[in-house]
Amino acid sequence: MLTLDNPLGFQGTISGLATGDVLNLFGGINISGASTDGSTLTISGSTPLTYQVTGVAAGTPFNVLSTDKIVALPTTGAVFSVTGQSAPYLLKAAEAP
């Protein structure tokens, strides 16, 4: 977990974000979403933020865990529960609707 006590003042580069890593932003930031192009992490919400990142694939999805936390999600595959199946069905990202 990376915690930024002052997310508005952070000017460094975030490197090595991987699947499951959590970014915790203190200071009253209300996050509504996040995305990356591979070099910039853009966080949307009450106060839009951008950070330079390295080692993160463009298009890496992020999930908002709470108003001040996001988590990096896997970039390949996804597991969806399908009603009526006796076992989980693995749907690759390229097959998703």
- Please state the three-class secondary structure of the chain as a single string: CEEECCCCCCCCEEECCCCCCEEEECCCCCEEEEEECCCEEEEEECCCEEEEEECCCCCCCEEEEECCEEEECCCCCEEECCCCCCCCEEECHHHCC
- Residues spanned by the domain of 27: 2-95
* Domains contained in the chain, number: 1
Query: Which pTM does this prediction carry?
Result: 0.73
pLDDT by residue, tens only, the chain of 97 residues: 889 999 999 999 999 888 889 999 998 889 999 999 989 999 999 999 999 999 888 888 899 999 999 998 887 655 555 565 555 556 566 555 5
- Which amino acid belongs to residue 23? L
